[in-house]
């Protein structure tokens, strides 16, 4: 081991190290990749520490410099490639003393740690002790004054890598959605066999102190009953559970799913095991019931798209934060609120997380729930209100009940069915009448009073119940607009006495709502609350940064790119030009670019020109020449379908091939409708629940108002959307209406495209040269 007399080179550049600690989580590699590359981009030197805090304590070559190429291909790898460990010696000051010495010997005084609350606690202690540790090392002769002088303060930034999503202060943690993906895949598979044999399944998922995974799994799979540690069931839960399952069975449901969190318990903190739940179902209901404990499969596998872009954006932000924080700043943790990456106080987040655990132990369950993010409680309530639809207290008086029409407009997108299911269930809970319009506006117009064809009809609970995990649109969607036959549209609205309209779809859905709003002057049938829930893989609806289906699409694209890239690993020198959907919006291409680590992304907002292609081919040449080690793999260029009329996907692939002069080859790949995905992703399923309920609550607010009062209120025709850190309704019309403020009608996309700034990040992280020749 080095001693104080070990010659230490004084670094000319700032050195930033990154480590992963605690339980591994999918997405950690994406975070390390982003930290390493952003560090280099910001003119600093990047280091990694192997095996978490163990590596810091041991030093030597457990801490080493990383170069740009070293993290090539890491985005698609599961687990953590730099290793993680639970290090007991770092819990002691003596261990941290060694760690401080090793860091100084490596010239490092900036550290990004990725882990759970334990990891962040250790980091904070380390930072607060740092000056004292250095003084002690000098006093014992382990380091000299000269050695410690450049490292007077330690900057630490936290990233939360945890599948449990148990950290306060952030909506999601790196890894939690990948884990939820695994769970949903397993439960979806169990679904079929459960339905076939009319079986019950008790599925145990991870979460010792936090029920996030269990709650989201229950929402995503329409589970009949749920056990989470924060909200233990009341005494007599066995009777309640059985009566609900019995009722669901009586209504025709053929499968029973119960989700049990690992830390499930009753109100006296006695464990509720999955086997105990199974026994209740078997003995009381005589239900053929099986237990499935998902175990470590929930940790494994490649990260889903959400965790890849999240870890990338957070890794970038961690480097920016570490270079900006001053000694007086408390250490930040990088969080996400809805769609906004932000910084929060690391120790405040840890305190709240640990408080929740203490409150559960003290049986203060309501308070424990409030320590979780506000959405957690909202999701829990939403789950309860849509799983069992007869809550006498939730039912509205007769006078406030509405006839709610539900229609899908535009291309199919993952999440349309779950959103419709939730809207139907919520309507039933409140006493409204949900009416499905089949096959969009043409379906509506075909339905006349004298010759009804069944395309407008009340939805039965059972049919909607089965839409929980179905892709596409079960009620049928259509791109046609009401303007094609406004008089008939109004007639059918009158005929069925619609009192609210819920439109699920993309830009056409937005356009349809706008047309109906404008037609209120001529047709009073449209003087009802109209709300649009954006659902399109293109994510091009004004008023929102997120549309249902876009996450499902990203997952499909990421899977596609992983597979073709893998196929190139034997030949090694191959670039795939992958054509993405998205119409005139480059959102999907850009986010997929961030998620797969694309070499370049071509989008309509920027276009393609010959100089750009020449530069990119030169860059590919350099890139292939510097490929080394195990991380060699095919390269991906993503091209949005409308990026250029001339430079088509095939043309670009051909030009690259020609210009590569045999040094590498190129192929065009068009995933086409594969991008619409199969089953909706968990992100789309859970967001469908939350947003559909908000939409229903929004239209409910208009009950009892006159048609003119409704028409006079700009918010009576609105779009729900994620805007930065909030979920908001935006009016279509009026002075601040989206129709005028944020809609690029000719290009069918919002005027403000929040994600455009990520385009530059894709380039930074791939090392693609800028148009001025810089990197």
Question: Which residues are part of the catalytic machinery?
Answer: 164
State yes or no: residue 121 binds ligand ATP (CB under 6 A). Answer: yes
Is 352 an interacting residue with respect to ligand ATP (CB under 6 A)? Answer: no
Residue 211 binds ligand ATP, judged by CB under 6 A? no
- Residue 214 or 722: which CB sits closer to ligand ATP? 214
The minimum distance between CB 117 and ligand ATP, in angstroms, equals: 5
Helix axes of 28-41 and 305-324: crossing angle, nearest 10 degrees: 40
Check residue 86 for interaction with ligand ATP (CB under 6 A): yes
The answer to whether 172 and 26 have CB atoms below 8 angstroms apart is no
| CA distances in angstroms from 582 to 723, 752, 757, 770, listed in the order given | 20, 16, 17, 24
CA distance 421 to 417: 6
From residue 500 to residue 529, the character string flagging contacts with ligand ATP as x (rule: CB under 6 A) and all else as - is ------------------------------
615 binds ligand ATP (CB under 6 A): no
Q: Is 171 annotated as a binding-site member?
A: no
- Give min distance, CB of 88 to ligand ATP, in A: 7
Structure tokens, 232 = 């233990």
Stretch that binds ligand ATP, among 27-35, 121-129, 415-423, 611-619 (CB under 6 A): 121-129
DSSP code at position 607: -
Tokens of 119: 């990891």
- The residue among 65 and 297 lying less far from ligand ATP, judged by its C-beta, is 297
116 annotated to bind ligand: yes
User: Judged by CB under 6 A, does residue 118 bind ligand ATP?
Assistant: yes
- Nearest approach, Cβ of 208 to ligand ATP (angstroms)? 9
Least spacing, CB of residue 667 vs ligand ATP, in Å: 40
Q: Is 546 a residue that touches ligand ATP (CB under 6 A)?
A: no
| Rg, C-alpha atoms of the chain | 28
- What distances in angstroms separate CA 293 from CA 155, 275, 276, 750, one per listed residue? 41, 10, 13, 45
Reduce the secondary structure of 143-161 to three states and give it as a string.
CCHHHHHHHCCCEEEEEEE
Q: Is 314 annotated as a binding residue?
A: no
Q: Which segment (120-128, 405-413, 432-440, 646-654) binds ligand ATP by CB under 6 A?
A: 120-128
DSSP 8-state secondary structure symbol assigned to residue 236: T
The beta strand positions in 629-748, using DSSP E, are 635-640, 665-669, 717-723, 726-731, 743-744
The binder of ligand ATP chosen from 125, 323, 519, 651 (CB under 6 A): 125
Contacts of 542 (CB under 8 A, 6+ apart): 510, 719, 730, 738, 742, 743, 749, 750, 751
Q: Does the annotation flag 586 for ligand binding?
A: no
In the complex, the smallest distance separating the C-beta of residue 351 from ligand ATP, rounded to whole angstroms, is 13
CB of 167 to ligand ATP, least distance (A): 8
Nearer to ligand ATP, 63 or 653 (CB): 63
Q: Is 128 annotated as a binding residue?
A: no
Shortest Å, Cβ 25 to ligand ATP: 7
∠ CA 588-592-598, rounded to 5°: 130
90 binds ligand ATP (CB under 6 A): yes
The CA distance from 627 to 644, in Å, is 30
Per CB under 6 A, the segment of 15-23, 306-314, 358-366, 454-462 that binds ligand ATP is: 15-23
- Nearest CB to ligand ATP, comparing residues 80 and 552: 80
Among 42, 64, 91, 479, binds ligand ATP (CB under 6 A): 91
What beta strand segments (E) does 270-346 contain? 289-293, 332-337, 340-345
User: Annotation-wise, does 199 bind a ligand?
Assistant: yes
Could you tell me how far CA 692 lies from the centroid of its own chain?
A: 17
Q: Provide the minimum distance between the beta carbon of 345 and ligand ATP in the complex, in angstroms, as a whole number.
A: 17
Regarding 179 and contact with ligand ATP (CB under 6 A), the answer is no
Q: Considering only residues 26, 27, 55, 122, which one is a binding residue for ligand ATP as defined by CB under 6 A?
A: 122
Closest CB 127 distance from ligand ATP, rounded Å: 11
Within residues 17-56, the interface with ligand ATP by CB under 6 A covers 21-23, 53
Per-residue x/- marks for ligand ATP, 98-117, CB under 6 A? -----------------xxx
Answer yes or no: is 354 a known binding residue: no
| 673 annotated as ligand-binding | yes
Question: What whole-number distance in Å separates Cα of residue 381 and Cα of residue 375?
Answer: 10
In the complex, what is the shortest distance from the CB of residue 350 to ligand ATP, in angstroms, rounded to a whole number?
A: 9
- Is 476 annotated to bind ligand? no
Which is closer to ligand ATP, CB of 371 or CB of 561?
371
Which CB sits closer to ligand ATP, 156 or 637?
A: 156
Return the SS3 of 340.
strand
Separation of alpha carbons 436 and 449, rounded Å: 16
Is 162 a known ligand-binding residue?
A: yes
- Identify whether the C-beta of residue 650 lies closer than 8 Å to the C-beta of residue 637: no
Q: What is the dihedral of CA 667, 538, 596, 81, to 10 degrees?
A: -150
Considering the complex, state which of residue 119 and residue 289 has its C-beta at the smaller distance from ligand ATP: 119
> Does residue 80 belong to the site contacting ligand ATP (CB under 6 A)?
no
> Is 447 annotated to bind ligand?
no
Q: Which of 155, 162, 511, 547 binds ligand ATP (CB under 6 A)?
A: 162
The Cα–Cα gap between 262 and 257 comes to 16
Task: Using CB positions, name the residue nearest to ligand ATP.
Answer: 118
- What is the spatial distance between Cα 143 and Cα 101, in angstroms, rounded to a whole number? 7
> 259: burial class by Cβ within 10 Å (0-12, 13-18, 19+)?
buried
Q: Which is nearer to ligand ATP, 122 or 315 (CB)?
A: 122
The gap between the terminal CA atoms of the chain, to the nearest Å, is: 38
d(CA 299, CA 657) in angstroms, rounded, equals 40
Distance CA 120, CA 345 (A): 11
- Pick from 479, 472, 460: which is nearest to 415 by CA? 472
CB nearer ligand ATP, residue 34 or residue 114: 114
Considering the complex, state which of residue 21 and residue 102 has its C-beta at the smaller distance from ligand ATP: 21
Contact with ligand ATP (CB under 6 A): which of 29, 76, 80, 119?
119
CA distance 271 to 623: 55
**717 strand-pairing partners:** 530
Q: Which is nearer to ligand ATP, 59 or 443 (CB)?
A: 59
Residue 255, sorted as left (phi over 0), alpha (psi -120 to 50) or beta, turns out to be beta
Residues numbered 476-505 forming contacts with ligand ATP, rule: CB under 6 A: none
Answer yes or no: is 369 a known binding residue.
no
Q: Under a CB-based contact definition with an 8 Å cutoff, are residues 194 and 327 in contact?
A: no
Taking the complex as a whole, the smallest distance from the CB of residue 85 to ligand ATP amounts, in Å, to: 7
Distance CA 631, CA 753 (A): 34
Q: Is 254 helix (H, G, I), strand (E, B) or coil?
A: coil
CB of 1 to ligand ATP, least distance (A): 20
Does residue 87 bind ligand ATP (CB under 6 A)?
Answer: yes
How many binding residues for ligand ATP (CB under 6 A)? 17
Q: Is 726 annotated among the ligand-binding residues?
A: no
Cα gap 569→630, rounded to integer Å: 10
163 marked as part of a ligand binding site:
yes
- Determine whether the annotation assigns residue 581 to a binding site: yes
Distance of CA 361 to the CA centre of its chain: 30
Cβ distance to ligand ATP smaller for residue 90 or 426: 90
Binding-site residues for Mg(2+) sit at 117
Binding-site residues for substrate sit at 162-164, 199, 206-208, 262, 290, 296-299
Interacting residues with ligand ATP (CB under 6 A): 21-23, 53, 86-87, 90-91, 115-119, 121-122, 125, 162
Binding-site residues sit at 23, 86-87, 116-119, 162-164, 199, 206-208, 262, 290, 296-299, 479, 536-540, 574, 581-583, 641, 667, 673-676, 748
């Amino acid at each position: 081991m080095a001693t104080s007399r070990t010659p230490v080179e004084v670094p000319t550049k700032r050195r930033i190290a990154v480590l992963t600690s605690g339980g591994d989580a999918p997405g950690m590699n994406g975070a390390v990749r982003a930290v390493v590359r952003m560090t280099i981009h910001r003119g600093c030197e990047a280091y990694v520490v192997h095996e978490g805090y163990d590596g810091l304590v041991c030093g030597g070559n457990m801490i080493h410099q990383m170069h740009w190429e070293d993290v090539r291909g890491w985005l698609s790898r599961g687990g953590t490639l730099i290793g993680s460990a639970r290090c007991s010696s770092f819990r002691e000051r003596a261990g941290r003393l060694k760690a401080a010495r090793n860091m100084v010997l490596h010239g490092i005084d900036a550290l990004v740690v990725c882990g759970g609350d334990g990891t962040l606690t250790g980091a904070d202690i380390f930072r607060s002790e740092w000056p004292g540790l250095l003084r002690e090392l000098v006093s014992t002769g382990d380091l000299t004054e000269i050695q410690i002088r450049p490292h007077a303060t330690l900057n630490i930034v936290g990233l939360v890598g945890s599948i449990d999503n148990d950290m306060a202060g952030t909506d999601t943690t790196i890894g939690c959605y990948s884990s939820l993906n695994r769970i949903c895949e397993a439960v979806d598979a169990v679904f079929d066999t459960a339905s076939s044999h009319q079986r019950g399944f008790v599925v145990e998922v991870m979460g010792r102190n936090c029920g996030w995974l269990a709650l989201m799994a229950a929402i995503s799979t329409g589970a009949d009953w749920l056990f989470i540690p924060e909200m233990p069931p009341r005494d007599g839960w066995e009777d309640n559970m059985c009566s609900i399952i019995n009722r669901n069975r009586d209504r025709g449901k053929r499968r029973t799913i119960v989700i049990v969190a690992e830390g499930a318990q009753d109100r006296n903190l006695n464990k509720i095991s999955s086997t105990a739940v199974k026994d209740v179902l078997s003995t009381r209901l005589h239900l053929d019931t099986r237990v499935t404990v998902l175990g470590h499969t929930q940790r494994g596998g490649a990260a889903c798209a959400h965790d890849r872009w999240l870890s990338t954006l957070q890794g970038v932000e961690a480097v920016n934060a570490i270079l900006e924080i001053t000694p007086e700043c408390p250490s930040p943790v990088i969080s996400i609120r809805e769609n906004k990456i932000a910084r929060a106080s690391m120790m405040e987040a840890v305190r709240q997380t640990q408080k929740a655990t203490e409150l559960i132990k003290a049986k203060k369950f309501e308070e424990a729930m409030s320590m979780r993010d506000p959405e957690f409680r909202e999701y829990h309530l939403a789950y309860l209100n849509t799983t069992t639809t007869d809550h006498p207290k939730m039912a509205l008086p007769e006078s406030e009940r509405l006839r709610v029409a539900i229609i899908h407009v535009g291309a199919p997108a993952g999440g349309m069915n779950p959103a419709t299911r939730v809207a139907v269930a919520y309507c039933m809970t409140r006493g409204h009448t949900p009416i499905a319009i089949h096959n969009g506006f043409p379906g509506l117009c075909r339905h006349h009073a004298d010759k009804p064809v069944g395309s407008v009809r009340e939805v039965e609970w059972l049919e909607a119940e089965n839409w929980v995990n179905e892709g596409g649109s079960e009620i049928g969607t259509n791109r046609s607009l009401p303007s094609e036959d406004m008089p008939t549209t109004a007639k059918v609205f009158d005929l069925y006495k619609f009192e609210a309209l819920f439109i699920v779809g993309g830009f056409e859905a937005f356009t349809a709502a706008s047309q109906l709003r404008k037609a209120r002057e001529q047709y009073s049938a449209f003087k009802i609350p109209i709300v649009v829930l954006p659902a399109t893989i293109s994510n091009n609806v004004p008023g929102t940064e997120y549309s249902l289906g876009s996450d499902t699409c990203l997952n499909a694209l990421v899977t596609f790119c992983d597979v073709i890239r893998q196929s190139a690993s034997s030949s090694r020198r191959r670039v795939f030009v992958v054509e993405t959907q998205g119409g005139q919006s480059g959102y999907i291409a850009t986010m997929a670019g961030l998620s797969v680590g694309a070499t370049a992304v071509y989008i309509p907002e920027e276009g393609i020109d010959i100089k750009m292609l020449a530069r990119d081919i030169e860059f590919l040449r350099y890139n292939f020449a510097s490929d080394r080690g195990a991380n060699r793999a095919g390269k991906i260029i993503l091209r949005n379908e409308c990026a250029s009329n001339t430079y088509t996907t095939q043309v670009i692939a051909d030009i690259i091939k020609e210009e590569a002069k045999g040094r590498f080859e190129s192929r065009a790949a068009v995933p086409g409708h594969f991008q619409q995905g199969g089953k909706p992703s968990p992100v789309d399923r859970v967001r469908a629940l939350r947003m559909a309920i908000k939409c229903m609550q929004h239209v409910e607010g208009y009950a009892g108002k006159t048609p003119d009062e409704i028409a006079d209120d700009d918010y009576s025709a609105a779009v729900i959307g994620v805007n930065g850190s909030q979920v908001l309704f935006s009016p279509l019309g009026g002075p601040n209406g989206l129709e005028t403020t944020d809609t690029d009608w000719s290009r069918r996309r919002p005027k403000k495209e929040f994600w455009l700034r990520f385009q530059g990040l894709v380039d930074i992280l791939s090392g693609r040269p800028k148009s001025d020749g810089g990197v």
